[in-house]
Structure 1
Amino acid sequence: MTAMITRSDLLTAFANSMIFIYQHKLLSSVVFISLSIYFTYHLVFSASTLFHVALMSGICLYLAYYWMFHVQKPDIYCQEAFRRFLECHCPTAFSVYYPTVWTVGGHVRSFSRGFIQRRLPVQYERETVKLADGGTLCLDWTKPSKQQTNGSTKIVLFMAGLTGGSKENYTTRICHKANELGYTAVVMNNRGCADTPLTTPMTYCATVTADLQAVLSVIHKRYPNCPVFIVGISLGGVLATQYLCKSGESGNDAGVVGVLSVSAPFDCMTTSLQLELPLSLVTFNYFLTSQLVRNLHQNIDIFKKADGLTFDIDAVVQVKTLAEFDEKLVVPMFGYNDRFEYYMDASTSERLKHISVPYLAMNAGDDPFAPHFALPTQQFTSSQYTALLTTTAGGHIGFADSIWPSGPTLVDKIFAEFSTACFEHGNELKAVN
C-alpha cells in the first residue's frame, strides 16, 4: 500500500525548496514548475479540494515569475568612467536586489513601504527662512552626536515629494542614516508644507529652483565652504535635477558634490498621463490632489486678501485631479500658457548633459509615475556625470527589501554608499572626466 502524504509533509518540502531556490535563481523556474506538478498530483489523489490545488499551483507559478523576472541585479546606464566609480564605491548597485516577494505590482510596492516602515527617531531643530519675495520656507536640521562627528561638516540636504516634508518616514530614514554616517542633515520643507506657513500667495512647482538656491545660500552662510549632498525624492528629485541642469549651464554648483534622485520622473507629460489611468487615479492622483487642496485651505486667507491674482482660488480648491490643479493654479501662477507647456518645461531628459557633478538616479521599472519606457536611458549614457540605476520592481519611492520590509530599503543602502563616495572620492570622477 502506498503511504499517504500529509499536508504537513508537503508544507515542509515546500519550505525546504524555498531555502534552496533562494540561492539558486537559475534553477528557480524548473524547480517551481516541478513542485507545482508534484503538489498538484498528490493533493488531487489525497482527496483535497480543487481550491487547494488551484491555490498551490498559483503560488508556485507566481514565485517562478518572481524569481525569474524580479530577482535581478539593477541595470545601470552611464559612461564607463562613472561605472568604474560606482563599482569601486557603491557595490550595492551591482548586487542582486530581492524586492519583497508578497508585494505584487508597482502600486502595492509603493504603499507597502509607507504602511510598514516606521519613522526613525530624529530630533529636528527648525529654522524659518524669509525669502526675497516675502515667502517662507522651513528648514529642519538634525545633527550627529559628538561621538560621530569627525572632521569638517558635511551637509545632506533632503528634498521630499510633492506634499511631503520632514515627517515622512522615508525622510526620517535618510536623515537618521546621515547622522549615523556623521553628516548633518537638513530637510527643505516647501511653502505651505509640513506646518510651514504660507505668507504670500505663491506656492511651488517643478520648474522654479529659486527656493532651492535660497536654501543653499542659508546653508553656506551657516557653514561656509561646506560640501553639500542632495537627496531628492520624486518632485524633490525633479527640482534637484532642474537645479543641477541650470547651475551646470551657468558654471555654479554652490558647493554641491553629488545628488541622489529617487523616483523622479524625467518626462512629466507621460507622468501626467500615467496618473490618469484608473488604478493610479484612485490610489495616487485623488489623494495627492486632496493634500495640495488641504494645504491651500489652511492658508486660504492669504489668497482671499491678495490683489491681482491670475487664478480663481475658489475654483482651485474644488479640483479633484493633479491635471486640474496644474491647469487652474500652477499654469497661471507661474506664467505658462497651458499645462502641456508646463510639463515640457518640467521634463529634464534633454538637459541632463549640462550636469557637472556626480548624479545618480534610482527608478523602478514598475513605478506608476515613471515606468521604464519613460526613462531617458540614452541620455544617461551620453552624459559623463550622470548614471541611472533601474530595478524591475520597486514601485514609487518603495524599493522595499526582504520578506517583511521594515528594515533598510535599497534606497537607504545606496544613499549610504553614494553619499560617502561623493564626499570622500568625488574628485576621482572629475579627474577622469
Structure 2
Amino acid sequence: MFIENNLLIFFFTLTIAFVLYYIFYVIETPILRFNESEFSLKIISNTPKLTKLYFPTIWCFNQHLMLFLLMFRESKSKYFNYDKIEHLEMKDGGTTGLAWSGIQSVNHKDKTPIIVVFHTISGDEQDVKATVSYLRKTYNWIVVVCIRRGHGNLPLTKPIINTMGSTSDLKEQLSHIRKKFPNKDLFGVGISAGSGLLARYLGEAGAKSMFSAAVAVSPAYDIEKAFHRVHPVYSKIMGQRMINYFLKRHYQSFANVKGAEELIKVKTLGEFQDKLHTISGFKDKESYYQNSNPILVADQIKTPLLVLNAADDPICVNLNVMENLHWLESLKNTIHVHTKRGSHIAFYEGIMAKSWSNQLIGEYFNSVLKIKFNSKID
C-alpha cells in the first residue's frame, strides 16, 4: 500500500510538472517582426492567429514527434482527388503540371481568388493535399498546385531536374493560369522547398509579380548554407530520398548524363544540392546557386508576404532565420511569424493535432481580401 501511494504521488507530481512546463514553456503568442506599414498593421488586427496564443499539441509538441506525426499522416491519409491535372509542355520540351481543385464550379465574375500552392522538395500535389483540402472546405477558394518537372507522375521529357524548381517554368505555369482566369487574384503558398521557389520568383519579378499576396511556410532562406545545416539524421534520410526519387526513378533519362553517376553516390542532402548542377542544366555549383538561391533576390520582393518559421525546426534550422532578420524586417508589407514550436511545416495545434499553419494561411488571405476590397494596398 505504501509503495502504491508513493507511485501515485510520483505520477501525480510528474503530471503536474509536465502541465506546468507546457503552460509556461510551450504555449505562446507568436513573435511578429514587420515593417510598420498601414497594410501590415491592418493584417495583424484582422488575423486572429497572429495575436492569440498558439497551443502546440500537448502530446507531441517535441519537434521530432511532430515531424513524425506529419510523415505518418501523409503516408496513411487517403488519396486526394483533384478535379483536373494538366500536363504543360515547357518551351525547352520539359513537362510540368497543374493540379486543380474547385475548377468545376468556378464563377468567373465573383471575387474568389486562386490559391497557387508550391509543394515540397520531393513532393507533388498529394503531399500538400491537407492544405489544399482545408482551403477548399473552409473558404471554397479555387486551389491549384504547381507540379515541378520530374515530380509526381509527370513524365521526364527532358533530363533536367531542379529540386528547388525553375522560375522559368513557373512563369509559364502562371501565364497558363492567368489566361484561364484573367480577372482573379492569385495568392501563392510555398511549403518548405516550395517557399524557396516562391521567394525566388517574387524577388525576380519585383513589382511585376503576378501574386497579390503570398505565404512562405518553413523557408530555408540561403539554400547554399541551409542544406548543410539540416539535422544529420534527416540530412542522410533526405539525401537518400533525393537519389531514389529523382535519379533511380528516372534512371533511363539520366543514364547518359555526365555527373549523374557521381551524384548517386552522395550521402547527405547538402552534398546532393551542391552537385545538383549536373542534372539541372547548369555548368557548375556556382552557376546553379546563382540562378536558384532565393536569398540572392529576396530583398527585391514587393508582394505582400507572410513568412512562418518555427525555432525548433530540424530541417530549416533557426540559424537560417536569425541570419536573415536584418533584411526580412525591412521588407515593406512583409510579416515574419516566429514560433518556438512547430517543427518543419507541421505546426500542429490542440488535442486533435490540427494544422495551425493552414488556419493562419486562410486567415491571412482572407484579411488581404478584406483590405483589398476596402482600400488599395500601399
TM-score, structure 1 as length reference? 0.77
Alignment match, 1:282:
233
Alignment match, 1:264:
219
Q: State the distance in 2 between where 1:429 and 1:316 align.
A: 52
Q: State the distance in 1 between where 2:6 and 2:122 align.
A: 48
| CA deviations over 1:306-348 (Å, ceiling 9, x no partner) | 5xx4x32223223332122223333674436447x75676554
Q: State the distance in 2 between where 1:395 and 1:429 align.
A: 36
- 1:7-406 matches, cutoff 5 A: 46-48=2-4, 56-81=12-37, 82-116=39-73, 118-119=77-78, 121-143=80-102, 146=105, 151-152=110-111, 154-168=113-127, 171-180=128-137, 181-206=139-164, 208-248=166-206, 251-254=207-210, 256-275=211-230, 280-283=231-234, 285-287=236-238, 289-304=240-255, 309=257, 311-330=258-277, 333-335=280-282, 337-338=284-285, 347-349=293-295, 351-375=297-321, 376-405=324-353
Q: State the distance in 1 between where 2:283 and 2:16 align.
A: 52
Q: CA contact under 8 A between 1:144 and 1:182: conserved in structure 2?
A: no
Alignment match, 1:414:
360
| CA deviations over 1:31-50 (Å, ceiling 9, x no partner) | xxxxxxxxxxxxxxx32487
Q: CA contact under 8 A between 2:83 and 2:104: conserved in structure 1?
A: no
Q: CA contact under 8 A between 1:154 and 1:184: conserved in structure 2?
A: yes
Q: CA contact under 8 A between 1:355 and 1:385: conserved in structure 2?
A: no
Pairs aligned (count): 372
Q: State the distance in 1 between where 2:119 and 2:344 align.
A: 13
Distance 1:211 1:345, change over 3 A: closer
| CA deviations over 1:99-146 (Å, ceiling 9, x no partner) | 011225322222222324745854331100000111001211111674
Q: CA contact under 8 A between 1:141 and 1:185: conserved in structure 2?
A: yes
Q: CA contact under 8 A between 2:57 and 2:349: conserved in structure 1?
A: yes
Q: Which has the higher helix share?
A: 1
Q: CA contact under 8 A between 2:33 and 2:337: conserved in structure 1?
A: yes
TM-superposed CA distance for 1:261, in Å, is 0.6
Q: State the distance in 2 between where 1:75 and 1:269 align.
A: 26
Q: CA contact under 8 A between 1:157 and 1:186: conserved in structure 2?
A: yes
| CA deviations over 1:201-248 (Å, ceiling 9, x no partner) | 101143741111111011012222322111100110011011101101
Distance 1:374 1:326, change over 3 A: closer
Q: Which has the larger radius of gyration?
A: 1
SS of aligned partner of 1:416: helix
Q: CA contact under 8 A between 1:119 and 1:172: conserved in structure 2?
A: no
TM-superposed CA distance for 1:369, in Å, is 2.0
Q: State the distance in 1 between where 2:56 and 2:147 align.
A: 30
Q: CA contact under 8 A between 2:239 and 2:266: conserved in structure 1?
A: no
Q: Comparing 152-161 with 116-125, which one deviates more in the overlay?
A: 116-125
TM-superposed CA distance for 1:370, in Å, is 2.4
Q: State the distance in 2 between where 1:77 and 1:188 align.
A: 29
TM-superposed CA distance for 1:190, in Å, is 1.2
Q: State the distance in 2 between where 1:398 and 1:303 align.
A: 33
Distance 1:69 1:377, change over 3 A: farther
Percent of aligned positions that are identical: 23
Q: Comparing 225-234 with 175-184, which one deviates more in the overlay?
A: 175-184
Alignment match, 2:371:
425
Q: CA contact under 8 A between 2:82 and 2:99: conserved in structure 1?
A: no
Q: CA contact under 8 A between 2:215 and 2:361: conserved in structure 1?
A: yes
Q: Comparing 48-57 with 173-182, which one deviates more in the overlay?
A: 48-57
Q: CA contact under 8 A between 1:358 and 1:426: conserved in structure 2?
A: no
Q: Comparing 344-353 with 287-296, which one deviates more in the overlay?
A: 344-353
Q: State the distance in 2 between where 1:368 and 1:259 align.
A: 24
Q: CA contact under 8 A between 1:153 and 1:223: conserved in structure 2?
A: no
Tell me the C-alpha RMSD between the 2 structures. Answer: 2.9
Structure 1 runs not aligned, ≥5 long:
5-45
Structure 2 runs not aligned, ≥5 long:
none
Q: CA contact under 8 A between 2:277 and 2:285: conserved in structure 1?
A: no
